[in-house]
Each structure stands twice: as C-alpha cells, then as structure tokens.
Chain A
C-alpha cells in the first residue's frame, strides 16, 4: 500500500527519533533496510547488545510501530517495521486538533495520553487519570477553591494555560469512561487483539492456511473452487479485521447507544452536565489504541469540506460537511482493501446501497443558527431546467472523471490557489462555523442553473428544506461531482472520482505555481487533445514556437508533461521522427509524491542541522533550573537565539504538515 522508498524510510526514522528517541529510531531504520529479522540478526546488523535491542523493540512495539510474528515452538520472534504507523506520527498534531474540534478538549486530552503511552489497558489509563485528578484536587485545595470554576471554562478553550488548570480537563473516572465510550463509538479508538501485531502478509498466510485446511483438505480443483477459496479468505480476513471493533459492538448492543449519541452530539462539552450514568462501564482488561484508519476518514472529510469551500463558499461547504459526517459515520477506512472486500459487494449489497443520506437526515443535523439562504443564488423558475437539475443518478459514473474534467476551463483553477487563505479556518464543520458575510463565492461554475440578481426578492424566502435542497443540487451539479443524487431525496458521495478530481486540482495548482498560467494552459490543452505532435502544438496553443518549446522543456524536467519519440522509418532518424507531447496524470502525481517525501525529509534534516548549530543554547534550555524560566535566566542574546530557533522549528514543522496534507490527498484518501 505504502511504498517505502529511501526518503520515506529516512523520514520515518527521523520522526521516531523526534518523538521516541534514538534507540528505537536506529532499530526501526535497520528493520526498514534489512527487512524482517530476529533479535540476534538485528544485533549483528547494528552491533548493539541484545539488552539494548530488547528495550528498543519493546518501546517500538508499545507504540505499535512494529509487527512481529512468532512461530509456535521457536525462541525468537521476527520483527518487521510498520512504516505506515511511523509515517502517521507526523499527523499527530492534525489528529489532536481534529479531536479537539469535534469532541472537545477533554477528549483531546485523553487521546493525547493514549498517543503518548501507546497501547494501554483501560484500567491503567483510569488509574493514571485518577492519580492526576487526585493530585489536582490536592493542589486545588491549596490554591483555593474559587479556581475550579475558572479552570472549567478554560478547559474548553484549549490547553495553553499554566499548569494550574490542567487537572480538571477530565473531571472524574466516570467522565473518562464516557469520553472513551464516545471515542470508541466514533471508531477513532479501537481494541488491540493478538492479530494486531501480525503484518497483513502474515495474517493472509494464516487465514489462507486455515481456509485450506478447513474447506479444501483435498486441494483445489477447478475454477469454481478457486473462487470459493478467495471468498473464504476474504471472509476470514474481514473477521480478523473486525475483531478490533469488538468493543464498539459491545457498546452498541447496549441499545442505548443511539440515544446516548444523540444526547452528546448536541451538548458538546461546554456545560458541565455529563450523562455519565448512561454509559456502561468498559471492561478494564481491554487494551485500546488509536485507530489511524478512521482518523484518516475524518481528515478526508475535512479536506473535502475545504475543497467545497474553495469552490462554492461557506454555507454550501457546511451543508456538505454535515452530509459527509452522516455518510461516513460507519465507514471504517478511506479505501476498501481489494483482498478483503471481494465478497462484500455480493453479501451486503443492500447494505452498501443504504450508504446514503436523506435530505431530512441532513436537515435534522444542521445547526439552526445557520442561515441557509446564504450562498445560493436566485433564479426565476423558468430559467431553471428542473428536469436536468433534479436528475437522479442511480449508479456511480462509469467513465473516468479525469477525462471529463479536461474541458479547458480557465475559471476553475484560481479557486484552488488560495488554499491557505483565511477561509479555511471557518471550514470546520463541527464547531466554529460562522455565517459568511458575503453571498456564495462563485456559485455559477458549470452549473445548469443560471442565476439572476434581479430576480424577485420574494423568491428568496424559501423554506429551509428547499434551501437545503438547493445547496445539495449545487453540489451534485458541479464538475467535481461532490454529491450524487442517488434517489429521490437521497444523496451519496462517490469518493473515488471525487478524490481523483481533488488530486487533479492539487496537481493543477502545483503546475501553476511552478510553470505559471501558460504552463497550466498547455497541460490542459494536452489533456484535452491527448498526444500532440511537437509541430502541431504551437498552432493549437496559439503560441510562438521558441516560447512554447522552452515552456514545454521546463515542464518536462519538472515531470508534468512527457514526450514520446516515434520514428518514421527503420533508421530512426532524429530529424524525421515525430515527437509527441502528452501528459500522464498518474505519473506526474507519483513524481510529486516522491518530491514531497523528499522535501519533508529535507525539512527534518534542516531542523537537525539547526539544532546542531544552536546546540549550546539548546543544552542550556534543557537544564532543570532554566527550563520553564528561560526568559528570566537566560541572557538576552541567548534568549533571542533560542526564540529564533523556536520560530524556525515551528515553521519547519508547519511545512512538514502542509506537505503531509498533500501526501494524504495523493496517497491515502
């Protein structure tokens, strides 16, 4: 799934070094380069002692960064690096921020503790929190009781407060329990089971063997048996995969799950009343950990909402966010695994079909404070072809959207260019929604509805469901196919073509940044026309030949366009052969992905170099008498150097995270 190239390997090792230290990072790097190995082998590779290795491997396993496989009866286990989880470390900040906005600060606190300690038994976590709460109450008693109230309100705003206010983030073990319940129900936390540590390859092997022994003891004969075996294997794999959802299932069996959820979604954590009694006590023996797959689904939702914001504006994007949230509530991962989901289509066909949301559901989940009349234009009835607008598409589109998108359209690109503008701040569909002051940014792209500003103001006063429908129709009409109108008043999202459109939008903005508008225009011409001869291109593009050639070469070195040489005769004379320009989106994207890995790695290396440069300052700040009081104890120049370093560090990490945004669009979504 994730191709581990050299830059990726180095990046993962550096990330582990950053968060968990040098020893695990060394072991991880060795495991990545040498493949699966046992402890004695590792000792040979790294010339470290077995004791060191055991400690390092234990840390890595605790943080879920390794797979291991132990054949029964053997002494040594085989360890294998889990590069995906190592890469996910870079998303920690994003995941925490997401949890913070959608579940509140206390949930973020729990999540952070969980990330910090790796897989944890629930009882241990509860005990740790109990300790902390007791300490906090003791300290609170000394400081004074009136502080409690202030701390409570502060807890909501985030945790950038002095240590005095930390305790009450999670107020009691019951509160902790309810938080864990909510997170488990949202699937962002799942249960560790013995198979968690088997690499997917090992799991496949065991499942395959089981299926063979159980159902085909005499061997496989014929195509029919082969297909059946495939299905059995897929079934077995799914069973293994679902094991980590056991806790969630148990919670849902309680029956009150839906009710509890309903109580909580509206309430949030702003007021101090928690319905703790309703939550069932969790089995303290269970071991829980973060489920990155589900976190990715949520991150994808946010990215798509941002994409919609760029194209339509705030209100429509908000509606879209609500729709996505409802739609992906039970979606376990961004992409279905071809090995496992083979049979699923057949078995749960009706279930798949049910993955849609009705207009009423969305309406129920919208905040009443949102003014839906914003962001949609007004048009007279006769100007709208309602048949075309309300067209119901029962099935996902068959043809690739990439080709459909190739219509040369100069208008659409600027939307993506201002990715980082302020508007993205408001796109969090969960909490800080603000009603936009202007009407929709640009509602007219490629839609069949033509708006008329002079339409009668009376028509603006539509009722809420109709307005909501307008937004949804707007979404479904766009070139990117944000939403598919899959039945009367039913909506669904085809993620694959949509993500492809998003990818292409990203690619376009990169091309525009590097080669300018001219370059982007040329690329779009090539996409529309397919392969074009070198001599024909100036005519099509209406550009002068030398300029054009320079641009094309520039883009070829950047990997956006490619050239193919077709000899006219056997001698393959260069002067006579054709040179065909074309652009291959997948190839460009792969190259971009690789470049982003390299840039991320480079950022981390720059940081390391900076650290080495400023090491005398940094060593000072690590001292126990200086730490926390840097301002008072350090001299001015040193202090300035230190703060400059901190600023650089922030910028570098921010750059890494932005690149990760890009990588997740290209690779994971």
Chain B
C-alpha cells in the first residue's frame, strides 16, 4: 500500500498538499462522493438484528419420532446403568466450548469435587439432600459379570471390582464380592416425551390428588377471594381491614409454609439457595401474589 502511495506521490498525481500526501489525494478522488456529487449518504447504523429467514426443519415423521424415542430411552437406561459416570461441575466450567491450550487447561474443564469448588449456597447439608443422587465418578464394575478373556490382563482386577487404592489384593478388596453377580437389566421402560408433559392443567391437578396439590389449590382460591374482597392493594398495605389481615395471617401461615417447601424442593433442594431465591422469584408470579395479599410479610 505504501509502495503504491509513494509511486503516486512521485508521479505528482496528488493535487494540492505536500509531496508525501499522494496516497490521500488518490483516495480523495476515488471516494464515492467525490465521483458522484448527488450521492446521499445513509448515515443510519445498520440494523443490529436484521430480519433473517430462519430455516426450519420439517416436523418429525412418525418413524423419526419412534427412533428418537428409542434413542432417548436407551440413553436413559445407559445413564441408569452402573457403568455410567458423571461428575460434571457446572459452576466451574463456564462453557465447554471455550478454547483450550494444552492439556492442563483441558483437564481443568473437568471439574473436580474438592472443598475449593463447593458452592457455598448449596453445600450446607439439608434434609432434601437425601433425595439427591450422588454422581458416580467411577463405574461400578464389581456389580456385574464380564467376559474376562477378552480384556487384557492388566484390567482383570479392575473388572472384579478389586481395584482399590492400595492396589493390593488384600482381604479388603475380596470382601466386596457378595453373592453371584448378575447382569442387571434396566427397569426404565419409558422416557418422558414433551407431549406427555404438556397435559392440560386440570388433568394435572386431578392426577396429583396429593395433599400438597390440594392445599395449593385451596391457597390459590383463598388468595382469589381475598383479592375480590379487598378490591385494591392499598387496603392491605395500610392494614385497615383487621379481620382479613388476621385471617390472612393465620391461613397464610400454613400456605406460606407449604409454598416455601415446594419452592425450595423444586429449585435445588436447599433450605437457603440465595441465588435462586432472588433470581427465581423475580419472574415468579405465585410468590408476588402471595406477597401482595398477605400483608404479613411486611
């Protein structure tokens, strides 16, 4: 570029301006508005998200539906099998597609559970932790039989489930084998499809029929009636209607509890999950409603 500019300067093609300005002169003559005086420049910034015709895949045919269902069912069974391992640490890896340089960084992607990586918001042991499945970091090989002749000898101890840290074939390792090993067949026989999930709400509540669902229903009805009675929010906020306040307080106590329980169980199974508490509730209508009519929260 500079070479060309220099040549231009020597040739004297540049109009006014000093000798070294040849390049600029050339550019001045060839810009669009220099060549075409009538041009109207469109100074608007280009649209950030111009309309784009997103190609849509055709709907699944019946056969494809079947294939996908079979695959998902198979995956579900696989993840249930004793050989499946998963110890993903979401908090640490901020995206698996991040570029990595070298093995060290790559290894960091796979989270290791240590005290340093514990999430302080969810790590406090609570009751609902009982329901949490502990992810398996190593496959449970000792629980099922293998055709050992097709494995290299270095793996034989591992296949028996005798591969302990000490790597000694002591009595500790032997103890694990209890009874005959059997190949467990998966008991999972269905995989939830989206259609199954999109059932009408009425049916959902009817099927639920549990105490929790019923009380939830009652609570919602109650909230409705209160709202009708009071007409506007200010009445509640000023606390004029004492009767209602007291009633609301009493009722809301249980319902509030039930709601809280539900909420905690739903979100992450923690008593105090601050992140979800603030994030999750901003778009949470149920909670807002409860807050509005139940003056007891103030």
Contact = CB atoms under 8 A, between A and B. Distances in A.
B187 interface: yes
A658 B57 contact: yes
B64 to A, nearest CB: 6
B66 interface: yes
Interface in A622-653: 622-626, 630-639, 642-644, 646-647, 649-651, 653
B262 interface: yes
Residue among A47, A54, A622, A638 having the largest count of chain B Cβ atoms under 10 Å: A54
Interface string A38-67: 010000011100011011111101100000
B207 A26 contact: no
A92 B71 contact: yes
B266 A638 contact: yes
B83 interface: yes
Interface of A: 18-24, 26, 39, 45-47, 51-52, 54-59, 61-62, 68, 70, 75-77, 92-94, 96-97, 100, 108, 112-113, 115-117, 119-121, 124-125, 127-129, 131-132, 158-163, 166, 192, 194, 196-197, 287, 420-422, 424-425, 428, 605, 608-609, 612, 615-616, 619-620, 622-626, 630-639, 642-644, 646-647, 649-651, 653-655, 657-658
Contacts of B72: 93, 649-650, 653
Interface stretch (B2-10, B43-51, B137-145): B137-145
Residue among B83, B186, B207, B276 having the largest count of chain A Cβ atoms under 10 Å: B83
Residue among A24, A61, A62 having the largest count of chain B Cβ atoms under 10 Å: A62
A412 to B, nearest CB: 21
Given A54-B163, A127-B182, A635 B263 contact: yes
Nearest to B280: A616
Contact of A287 (B147, B165, B210): B147
Contacts of B163: 51, 54-55
Contacts of B165: 51
Contacts, number: 261
Contacts of A129: 185
A161 B190 contact: yes
Contacts of B107: 46-47
B258 to A, nearest CB: 12
20 contacts: A55-B138, A56-B85, A58-B155, A58-B159, A59-B83, A70-B153, A93-B68, A96-B71, A117-B183, A162-B190, A197-B150, A420-B58, A616-B268, A623-B269, A624-B131, A631-B197, A632-B204, A636-B201, A653-B68, A654-B60
Contacts of B145: 121, 124
B146 interface: yes
B96 interface: yes
Contacts of A654: 57, 60, 64-65, 67-68
A197 to B, nearest CB: 6
Interface in B200-216: 201, 204, 207-208, 210, 212-213
A609 B158 contact: no
B137 A23 contact: yes
A458 to B, nearest CB: 39
Nearest to A64: B150
B171 interface: no
A163 B12 CA distance: 90
A57 B139 CA distance: 10
B163 to A, nearest CB: 6
A620 B269 contact: yes
Given A115-B74, A420-B58, A653-B72, A625 B66 contact: no
A632 to B, nearest CB: 4
Given A97-B63, A116-B77, A620-B269, A128 B103 contact: no
Interface of B: 57-58, 60-75, 77-79, 81, 83-88, 90, 95-97, 103-104, 107, 110, 128, 131-133, 136-139, 141, 144-147, 149-155, 158-159, 163, 165, 167, 182-187, 189-190, 192-194, 197-199, 201, 204, 207-208, 210, 212-213, 262-263, 265-269, 276, 280, 283-284, 286
A109 B86 CA distance: 26
A370 B254 CA distance: 67
A162 B187 CA distance: 10
B159 to A, nearest CB: 6
Contact of B197 (A19, A624, A643): A643
Contacts of A658: 57, 64
Nearest to A78: B152
Contacts of A630: 192, 197
B95 A160 contact: no
Nearest to A605: B97
A47 B63 CA distance: 44
Contacts of A653: 68, 71-72
B189 to A, nearest CB: 5
B147 A39 contact: no
A631 B208 contact: yes
A50 to B, nearest CB: 8
Nearest to B146: A62
